């Protein structure tokens, strides 16, 4: 992130890059019964990865310690997942483009 500032303005911008990996599972375990062995059964599992690549620009106007700003983040998000649910398996690819505007009141104390 890079930017400039003065007594009455602030401007900033920069690239954004994020990698994420995730996984979870739903497990059933029979409560123990005397003399009976129990084992865990995986009912569902989900594993995946995502990449987020984009940029951010922002500007603010004000004076000395109080500024009103606008920020815009735009990014492409690629993600894929592998789902197993009760012996059924699926691979999913979900791609999207994100436009994320924001307004801010900034106080510098």
Question: Does the pLDDT of residue 3 top 90, yes or no?
Answer: yes
Domain ranges in the chain are: 2-29+38-107
Comparing 32 with 93, which gets the higher pLDDT? 93
Q: Cα–Cα distance between 105 and 6 in angstroms, integer? A: 17
Q: Are 7 and 63 in contact (CB under 8 A)?
A: yes
Residue 44 and residue 42: Cα distance in Å, rounded? 6
* Per-residue pLDDT, 74: 97
Q: How many Å apart are CA 57 and CA 16, to the nearest integer?
A: 11
Predicted local distance difference test score (pLDDT) of residue 29:
78
Looking at every residue in the chain, the average pLDDT score rounds to 91
What one-character DSSP code corresponds to residue 38?
A: -
Tell me, what's the pLDDT at 64? 84
pTM for the predicted model, two decimal places:
0.65
Report pLDDT for 51.
96
pLDDT digits (tens, 9 = 90+) for 39-89: 778 889 999 999 999 999 999 999 988 999 999 999 999 999 999 988 889
């Amino acid at each position: 992130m890079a930017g400039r500032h003065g007594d009455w303005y602030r401007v900033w911008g920069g690239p954004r890059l994020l990698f994420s990996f995730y996984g979870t599972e739903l497990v059933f375990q029979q409560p123990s019964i005397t003399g009976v062995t129990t084992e865990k059964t995986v009912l569902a599992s989900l594993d995946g990865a995502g990449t987020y690549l984009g940029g951010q620009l922002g500007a603010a106007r004000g004076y000395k310690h109080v500024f009103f700003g606008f920020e815009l983040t735009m990014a492409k998000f690629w993600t894929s997942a592998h789902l197993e649910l009760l012996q059924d398996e699926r691979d999913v690819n979900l791609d999207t483009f994100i436009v994320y505007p924001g307004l801010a009141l900034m106080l510098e104390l």
